Amino acid sequence: MEKRILLIWVLTLCFSCSPDSATEQLPEIKEAFSVTLTPSVTEVTVDIPFEVKVQSNEAIFEITRILENSTQSVSSLMPGTGLDEQTLNLHFQFGYIRNEDVKLEFTSISGKKTTKTLNFNVTRGNAVKVIGFRINSFYNMNGTWDEEYAEDDPNRLADIIFSLSKLKNIHFSKATVDMRLWYLSPIYPNQQQLEWDLSQEELYISDRSIIEFGIGDDDGNGIGQDLARSSQELSIRLTDYRDTKPTEINLSNEEYGYDVSLQLEWL
């Protein structure tokens, strides 16, 4: 009799617990934030811009490009809202023949984050190679540029420096390009050198682009004088030479007194 009463008590206890157990809910599983990146090209070549289309399973509030020593970002104007469709087409352009990594961090409107890295093998394509530069003459060549020195002192001569610039994408969120420094030479004191072999510098530029260059007298501490005496950079539109493909292009101006030559290697 005692065993039968005990069994009834155990069964009663079990049944009384069952309804509560059935009403217990499993924890909600949140969907992971995922982003897919699709480049518009299969081959990336020097200086040729291309796009990367961004798709995600949740609206994106912010995109950050993580560079070696800095970052670039674009975000929605209003908290809780996503970037528009146009902004989700990212713009890239690479100026050197090498492997390039693009590291991007995405933040959803709910605050979730994910990071994606794309790797591109940049090839030459139809790019022109700059292999040499020569200053044939400039205003007051062999004259005094540093007046603190005597007329027979070689230190009075110009301390030559030159630069090359080309078009470069400014920010991955826009297709805008602007002229940016591409190559800056060492300083050559007292006109010691006026011609340079640049064939080992790996300077490639699209045959549809523009080269701008400057020549100067370096006085130190970022101060100098323009040997071309012009507020405008000297420039060459390579697209004007695509048919003839000259190995040397000369620019001169009698009014400003400069004469320079650029040596090129075309495909």
Give the tens place of pLDDT for each residue, 43-92.
999 999 999 999 999 999 999 999 999 999 999 999 889 999 999 999 99
The residue to which tokens 């093998």 are assigned: 121
pTM of the model: 0.85
Q: Tell me the C-alpha distance between 108 and 179, whole Å.
A: 34
Q: Tell me the C-alpha distance between 133 and 183, whole Å.
A: 12
Domains and CATH numbers, the chain: 35-123 (2.60.40.10), 128-265 (2.60.40)
pLDDT tens, position by position, 157-209: 999 999 999 999 999 999 999 999 999 999 999 999 999 999 999 999 999 99
CB 109 within 8 A of CB 60: yes
- Of 203, 210, 255, which is closest to residue 235 (Cα–Cα)? 210
The enclosing H or E element of 230 equals none
Q: Tell me the C-alpha distance between 10 and 138, whole Å.
A: 107
Which one-letter amino acid corresponds to residue 43?
E
Q: Tell me the C-alpha distance between 180 and 233, whole Å.
A: 12
pLDDT tens, position by position, 98-126: 999 999 999 999 999 999 999 999 999 99
